[in-house]
Structures are given as structure tokens and as C-alpha cells.
Amino acid sequence: MANEISLEALCQEVVASAEAQVDREISERLRNAFNALGQHPDRRQAVTILADAIPQIGSPVGCGILAVWLGAGVENGIDPDDAIPRLIEALRCWMGKIPDDLSEPVSAELSSGLEFLGRGIVAHISRSPTRWAQYRHDEQLIQELQRVEGVSAGANWVYELLSRTSGSLIAIDVAERRAFRVEYKNLSNCFHLFTLLQIELAPRLTYAPRISRELVEVATGPAMHDVSDAAWWHYGNGTSSEANILASIWGELSPSTIPMIDLQQIMLLWPPLLESRQWDGNFFRPFLMAAPPSLRIVEELPATEVDQWWQTLELPARLPEGVAKARPSPTEELKRPWWKFW
């Protein structure tokens, strides 16, 4: 019986089995070791033991499979915080095995191991705001993830997760003199923010262009349609009281770069300037189930608050007659490498 064997012995067998793992498919030995551990009454205490062992496991596939197993535990309520530093230590180690010359092939074992390890890390960090913030600002880790993201799906997922940010802003439709309080979650670039905002504002605006079902599916979920989108407005920040290219919100950058005015991010929706910026669906990818992108309109601000913002930002009382309020959606399809976001 599994509960007649010590927890330490069961963990040692899991580690030894992971060490011996070679193929992408989990071995019968490792599967049996996990099953035996799963029957032990104190199995939750094994998390610390196995997490501590992960950096020492010499098989990248075995290391990755163990990370996925730990991630499954986190998805079922186990505290992720203690295991994350060990998982990141292992990730640094295995990324270091990828040569600087990225044209050199990466072994199937290392590629699979990093893929599994990335999955496990995403499951952990997405449930730990403290660790998420910690590693988002780890410049050495970010640089290494950027170096190898093009040849490692797992590294790309971790990099994408750490690049994502959440927050709130006030979106002000200058032509209509309306303002909306917005909350966004898990976005890595402002193009994604623009699309989600346009999707949510469309039902509230009489002049909004039509939005395709395929665009909504790609921007909010795992669908893989070939789509593109374009800015309905000139997106400006609150540092300029007039539509100004130099005060633009740049789509390639993180939403965290939108400036604060009175402790609040401000997005000004100006009538279009010149040609509308366009982007494709690759700016919405990869979709991470553990950290899905979202945006919601919390409320439309009452007229008194709108007037206060108009005064604070020194916005014009009226725009010239005949100015188009929004630009129609694009029809052409754009192409970009799947793994790169700028």
C-alpha cells in the first residue's frame, strides 16, 4: 500500500523516474510513481520536496513533466509561491543550454522539456500576483526569455505572461464628450487593448463600425482565424489637450506605458489623424488559458465627472463640424511571424 511507504521514499522514486525520462510521452515508471504518490494521505506535503528537487533533475523532459504535475496541483488549490523560485531556477538552466547561434537545432528532448516547464511555470505564476510582479522586473530573466522565445514555445509562453499587465483607465470620446471607466486584464500590448475596447464600446456608440465574429473570437479566446483590425480613433494620452502624434498611445507598447494623470491612466479617443493604424491577430497571441485577456466597461461617467476631466485635461469644448468620429474596420489581412509581437 502506498500509505505504508514513507512520503520521502515516494518522492525519491518520482525524482528518479523523472531523471530517467527521455521521451516526450510520460514513461510507465514515472506514471506509476505519480499514481503511488497520489494515494499517500500526506501527498500535498510532497510539493515542497519535489519543487526543491526540480533544479537538480538532469532530464529536461523529466523536469518539465514534473513542473506540469506541480502546476496541476496549483490549479487544484495548492499554494504556488514556494515552488516558483525553483521552477525559474530550472528554466534559467535549460534556457542556458540553447546556443547563442539560434540557427543551430535544439534537441527534441530540450525543446519538449522547455515546453512542459513553460506550461508549469505559467500555471504557477498566473496564480501568484507577488511572484508575477517580482519576475516581471527581473531584467536578466526577461532578456534570456527574449533571446530564446523564437525557438522555444515554453519560453515564449513565460515571456508573454510576464509581459502582460492589468489595470484601469478612463477612455474619453472627445467628439461625443463621453467618458468610460475601463478595467483590463492580462494584456501585453496596446493593439490588443484597442481591439477589446472597440468591441466593448461598439454597442454603446451609434456610429461604431461593424465588428466581425471572427475578430471577437480571436481577441478574446483561443480561436485561430486570420483576422486584422484598425484603430477607429486616434488614440492619444492625456499629456496633450489636442490630437497630437507625439502624444499617441503606441500599439506595440505595453498598456503600462500609458501615462497617469491625477493617478489615473487616460486614453483620449480623438477623430482619426491621417491613415488609421492596422494590426493583425498575432498581437492577440498566444492565448494563455491561465491568464485570459479581458476588458470590461465598468461604467459610463456622469456628466459632472466628464466636465471635471475636460477641465483637468483642458480639452476643446467643441471639435470642427464634419469631422469623422471613427474609421471603418479594415478589409486587408496583414501578416506577421506568429511568435513576435512588434
Task: Please compute the mean of the pLDDT values over residues 231-251 and round it to a whole number.
Answer: 93
Q: How sure is the predictor about 326, in pLDDT bands with cuts at 50, 70 and 90?
A: low
Residue length of the chain: 342
Residue 213 backbone phi and psi in degrees, to 5: -60, -40
The DSSP letter of residue 298 is: E
Give the cell for residue 121.
511555470
Distance CA 91, CA 88 (A): 5
Give the cell for residue 81.
509561491
**Contact indicator for 233, 269 with CB cutoff of 8 Å:** yes
**Contact indicator for 71, 36 with CB cutoff of 8 Å:** no
**Contact indicator for 121, 81 with CB cutoff of 8 Å:** no
**Contact indicator for 165, 155 with CB cutoff of 8 Å:** no
Kindly report, residue by residue over 16-58, the tens digit of the pLDDT. 999 999 999 999 999 999 999 989 999 889 999 999 999 999 9
Residues 6+ apart with CB under 8 A from 5: 36, 40
Distance CA 65, CA 112 (A): 9
**Contact indicator for 133, 154 with CB cutoff of 8 Å:** no
CA angle 281, 185, 67 (to 5 degrees): 85
Q: Determine the straight-line distance between the first and last CA of the chain, rounded to whole angstroms.
A: 55
pLDDT recorded at residue 328: 54
Smallest CA-to-CA distance from 168 within 263, 87, 76 is with: 263
Smallest CA-to-CA distance from 237 within 174, 284, 148 is with: 174
Residue type, 146: Q
322: left (phi over 0), alpha (psi -120 to 50) or beta: left
Kindly report, residue by residue over 173-232, the tens digit of the pLDDT. 999 999 999 999 999 999 999 999 999 999 999 888 889 999 999 999 999 999 999 999
Kindly report, residue by residue over 107-162, the tens digit of the pLDDT. 999 999 999 999 999 999 999 999 999 999 999 999 999 999 989 999 999 999 99
Residues 6+ apart with CB under 8 A from 69: 34, 50, 120
Task: Calculate the CA 277 to chain-centre distance.
Answer: 22
Distance CA 159, CA 165 (A): 12
Kindly report, residue by residue over 54-84, the tens digit of the pLDDT. 999 999 999 999 999 999 999 989 999 999 9
Residues 6+ apart with CB under 8 A from 336: 280, 282, 283
Residue 230 backbone phi and psi in degrees, to 5: -145, 155
Q: How sure is the predictor about 340, in pLDDT bands with cuts at 50, 70 and 90?
A: very low
The DSSP letter of residue 248 is: B
pTM of the model: 0.80
**Contact indicator for 43, 82 with CB cutoff of 8 Å:** no
